Structure 1
Amino acid sequence: MEDFGIRDTVSAMPNAMDELEMRISQLRGRLRQALAAGERAAVPRLRAELRAAELSWDSALLESDDSMLSPPETLPAAMSLFPVREQVHQVLTVLGVAAAPRLIVATHEVLYAGGLIATKLASLRRDEERSFRAAPYARPYYICAALTADQLVGVRGLLAISTWPLDRRIMGPLSPRVDFLTAAIRLVRHLQGAGELGSQSIRLLWPFINNIPGAGSSTQEFDPSRLVAAAKAELKIHEEFDRQQREAAADRARRLPDAEQLFGGAQLKAVRSVTNT
């Protein structure tokens, strides 16, 4: 009996998906490098290529799943084929700062069509820590903790990315405000670059508008440049002192074991004992 090439097509699917996964990984790395180097002109093109590759991966996965007999349009609109950790990584990369599940979910809803549930994030950090301790650095990144500047323990409810510089994950007295202002600026720029400053995006930005002096109010028409300017103005007041505190705490944290640098759990006395040896 002829199979009309179905067997060959199915056997070719894993190879195609492997190539797509490799391309997605490469594009993410190039995007991070472009952002770090300040090559803003290349960012929109790389983002477009990354989204196209991710959509191709989604399509390949649907085609390779023999159990998926119904057409893709019967899937719930908000369902994501990416693991929760991948979805959280996407959002944190945009925000650029440690964030709470509520902001992560709200941002994902606007940028990636939703499907991320806050309750799924509750155990994510613990799962990531178990994975790291079982096989350190087996993954290209981990969803890890932000650390308090004084005790170097994990901040409850804040998620970060392990590949960030350590001082970027430290939370001093001014860090929550600095990160709030930073997230506002990065979100506006991302939404502008993607051409997605619609009503849903503006709702996502209202907490920033209402809590940053000079950014506007609910009675005014939204002006993204005004929000960015207000956030930058306040950031200048706090940023330098916050940076000094973070860097000082990061210097102490680097003396801790790798797992504790990522997930916390060390007490200050442990840092002192390592320093004195």
Structure 2
Amino acid sequence: MSLDLSTTRFAPSPTGRLHLGHAMSAVLSHDFARARGGRFLLRIEDIDPGRTREEFVGGIEEDLRWLGLDWDGPVVRQSERLPLYAEALERLRARDLVYPCFCTRADIARSAAAPHGPEGPLYPGTCRGLADPDLSRPHAWRLDVAKATALTGPLEWHDEHAGAIVAQPELLGDVVLARKDAPTSYHVAVTVDDAAQGVTDVIRGQDLFLSTHVHRLLQALLDLPTPSYHHHPLILDANGERLAKRHGALSLADLRAEGVDPREIVSAFRDGRAPLGFRLSGV
């Protein structure tokens, strides 16, 4: 697909109702595409079978319409695209760039060898180089980052706010590309789908900035184009914590039930402000 047409996407996971942080990404992505006569896509990232709920899919569309946002084309669901992710993983496996991992999160947390990364303990490579792994046991597949970066050489990506960035996927260590309970991971699925859908500009929160280092590496390994990235500030609550589903952030549905005018929310984002008394990170 040609990348001449500006194309953005909003790609939430249906694991809860949308909150203001989601709304910010959706509004900015929508407006970026519309200002350039391009396309704004809606993609449902429903690859987590344990947390995905169908009622949240309908809630996502309901919330976007409440905000006055429309999207182009059919809604894409990642659960219907698993063969594409399996093909990408197989390409990496054929080049010996991934390895099976049998460790649990508890194993990693207890490991004295686990190096510390910017987001916590990194995988210490316990299963890297196992001579004869028993694939009949539950296992994930991890990317051998050192081997992969040696193959690609130095890589760069561009962020609207931070400028040219040298890719440092080692900051996140040997990330999981296919989970024990799911045939893929966020990193693979988002990279494959952005390329397949012709996404030219990825507009998302600053919390995903580090993940872009890994996505840039996967793009190089899979011969995929690299979009331009726009990582926007996060919305913070009164305690200075970023809004998150797991922290019970007030949802757009809650705000709608309280009679909040969605135009107030959208106007604030378009003016570079946080609405309703919240504030932006870095401000």
Greater share of residues in helix? 1
TM-score under structure 1 normalisation? 0.28
* Larger Rg belongs to: 1
Pick 1 or 2: higher relative contact order, CA cutoff 8 A, min separation 6: 2
Greater share of residues in strand? 2
